[in-house]
Amino acid sequence: MNIKITGTGSYIPKIIQKNEAFQDHSFLNIDGSEIPSSNEVIVEKFEAITGISERRYAEDHLTASDLGALAAEKAIKDAGIDPETLDYIILAHNFGDVKSGSIQSDILPCLAARVKNSLKIKNPKCVAYDILFGCPGWIEGVIQAQAYIKAGMAKKCLVIGAETLSRVVDPHDRDSMIYSDGAGATVIEATEEEGGILSHESASYTHDEVYHLFFGCSNNKSLEEDTRFIKMYGRKIYEFALSNVPSAMQTCLDNSGIDIKDVKKILIHQANEKMDEAIVNRFYRLYKTLVPEGIMPMSIHKLGNSSVATVPTLLDLIKNNHMEGHQLNKGDIVIFASVGAGMHINAIVYKY
């Protein structure tokens, strides 16, 4: 028995927010002081580092669970299964449903239950729950789905990553330009077909690193103190990622028994172009070999960082030939990898 991704789907919001839209923002330092550079320079430097030129925002009438349901419908159709046969729905997110114009998170009931309701699944033995694991949430959900199937507790699982980060960002923080909205979904099944999940690796660093990403006050000190926004210490995250993600990927690959030369694609969380490039470079350096051309597809340039949604969305785009110059063929070895709030990291080696 092998455990494979048999269906993929994604929802990419229609609203495009280009970098030029931030030219009129009042960006401030974390202490509330003015940034000496002009917005034009700020945006220019931002794009040079992150690679982001535009991002997607959810339409006003949609929430994270709505995006998740839309992506899930596509994944179920792609897998060709009856949704009533699903044993688990695992939905990764970080901020719940935040309605447009609101700052309040709504997670009652959990988002997975809302998606199950939207899909009109009546089977009470289809268990729906959420997972909070930072940006690596979708990968961790896939690892959990595999565990259920291996334990004989499930045959089919739906794993979703959905987020509307645009609704929890501080407009006075330069980092607000990183975040975006979106959803990706996958059906995970037991199958007799060759391939599937070969190995996985997860870790949580919570001693000195736990608050590298956190909920904090606006950089504009005149705003309400009790209102919180997503905040991060970018330099610390960068250093943490470079120190820990490549070694986790190495452990995962070594445990799979696959040679580094046989890896065809690395689908890494779309966090920051320069950081992702540095992680992959350091990973290949561990094997004393050069990074192959075209190994790391990137969607961040146009879609931004949608947290848990980036990896499954990237997979769906490649599978459906929407990533120029990238494709997946039967037998290809793929590494999924992510890093995020917690600080959590994880990886999967997968045979397509």
Per-residue pLDDT at 77: 98
Per-residue pLDDT at 105: 93
- Domain ranges in the chain are 2-193, 198-351
Per-residue pLDDT at 152: 95
Any idea what DSSP says for residue 30?
A: T
> What percent of the chain clears pLDDT 70, i.e. is strictly above it?
100
For 322-342, what is the mean pLDDT? 95
Per-residue pLDDT at 103: 80
How sure is the predictor about 102, in pLDDT bands with cuts at 50, 70 and 90? confident
Per-residue pLDDT at 269: 97
**Reduced to 3 states, what is the DSSP secondary structure of residue 315?**
helix
Per-residue pLDDT at 189: 97
| pLDDT at 181 exceeding the cut of 80 | yes
**Reduced to 3 states, what is the DSSP secondary structure of residue 16?**
strand
| pLDDT at 226 exceeding the cut of 80 | no
| pLDDT at 262 exceeding the cut of 80 | yes
Q: Left (φ > 0), alpha (ψ -120 to 50) or beta: where does 196 sit?
A: left
Beta-bridge mates of residue 216: 229
How sure is the predictor about 222, in pLDDT bands with cuts at 50, 70 and 90? confident
* Greater pLDDT, 226 or 164: 164
Contacts of 272 (CB under 8 A, 6+ apart): 49, 50, 51, 178, 238, 300, 305
Span 69-88, pLDDT tens digits: 999 999 999 999 999 999 99
Any idea what DSSP says for residue 182?
A: E
Q: Left (φ > 0), alpha (ψ -120 to 50) or beta: where does 62 sit?
A: beta
Q: Over the Cα atoms of the chain, what is R_g?
A: 20
For 190-218, what is the mean pLDDT? 94
Instruction: Determine contact, residues 186/217, Cβ cutoff 8 Å.
Output: no
Q: Is-same-fold flag (2-193; 198-351)?
A: yes
Top-tier CATH class for 2-193: alpha beta
With CA atoms as reference, report the closest residue to 168 among 224, 96, 223, 103.
103
Per-residue pLDDT at 133: 98
Top-tier CATH class for 198-351: alpha beta
Beta-bridge mates of residue 203: 345
Please report the DSSP string for 52-110 in residue order.
Answer: -SEEEE--TT--HHHHHHHHHHHHHHHHT--GGG--EEEEE-SS-B--TT----B-SS-
Distances (CA, A) of 182 to 50, 140, 205: 18, 18, 27
CA max distance for the chain: 61
CA distance 318 to 245: 23
Tokens of residue 98, six digits: 């935040």
Span 138-149, pLDDT tens digits: 999 999 999 999
Of 21-30, 145-154, 231-240, least confident by mean pLDDT is: 21-30
